[in-house]
Copies of this chain bind each other. A is one copy, B any other.
Amino acid sequence: MARTQGSRAEITGPLIRTHALQLFARQGYAAVSMRQIAAAVGVQAGALYSYIPDKQALLADLLESHMQDLLDAWRDDPALPALRRLEGFVRFHIDFSLDHSDAVFLSYMELRNLTPDNHHRIVALRERYETALEVILRDGVTSGTMRLDDPRLTTMALIAMLTGVTNWYREGGRLDRQRIGDIYWGLVRGAVGAD
């Protein structure tokens, strides 16, 4: 990792974020030192502070960017039937979660290590995403294609179920992504009484 002195501003910033995300997710925010991040990037610890004010701001920035990416990536079409939109959500959420499993795990786990201000801002973004699913479920109930008792609780239950795929999925494992999406969609369809 040792590297001769030199300037590489164009890539160091993103590298810090990439490596910090991976290290935080795998060891936990508090367990990772700035020296570790610097070593992964290939700079000395002091150099990090040209890019970030402190460790807390780095964490908050990673989590907020992730939630923003998630919201930006999700595309809904309210003109479609609710059941079709629900299927879209299921497949999107699984794919996005697997593509960003480090950030997903970090978001779940390190919210408590944020200052109250940062915490509030990021939880608000998460709630916008949850509400997107809740709206679909309510539409499904209203239009009679779904049958369920409590849209809000069902929202939380479904998101937990889908996100859980990151706990056991391994690239090249027994099931490929398409198949996983199919199976989860079958579970969800049944859960919302749409069979």
Q: A residues within 8 Å of B by Cβ?
A: 26-31, 109-110, 112-113, 148-150, 153-154, 156-161, 163-165, 167-168, 175, 180, 182-184, 186-188, 190-193, 195
Contact = CB atoms under 8 A, between A and B. Distances in A.
Contact of A112 (B26, B164, B168, B190): B26
B188 A191 contact: yes
A183 B153 contact: yes
A195 B189 CA distance: 12
Contacts of A28: 28-31, 109-110, 112-113
Secondary structure of the A side of the interface?
helix
Contacts of A26: 112
Of A26, A113, A168, A188, which is in contact with the most chain B CB atoms at under 10 Å from its CB? A168
A39 to B, nearest CB: 18
Contacts of A193: 190, 195
A1 to B, nearest CB: 23
A161 B157 contact: yes
A175 B26 CA distance: 35
B183 A150 contact: yes
Given A28-B28, A153-B183, A157-B164, 17 more contacts: A28-B29, A28-B109, A28-B110, A30-B30, A148-B186, A153-B180, A156-B164, A157-B184, A160-B163, A160-B167, A161-B164, A164-B164, A187-B191, A190-B191, A190-B192, A191-B191, A195-B195
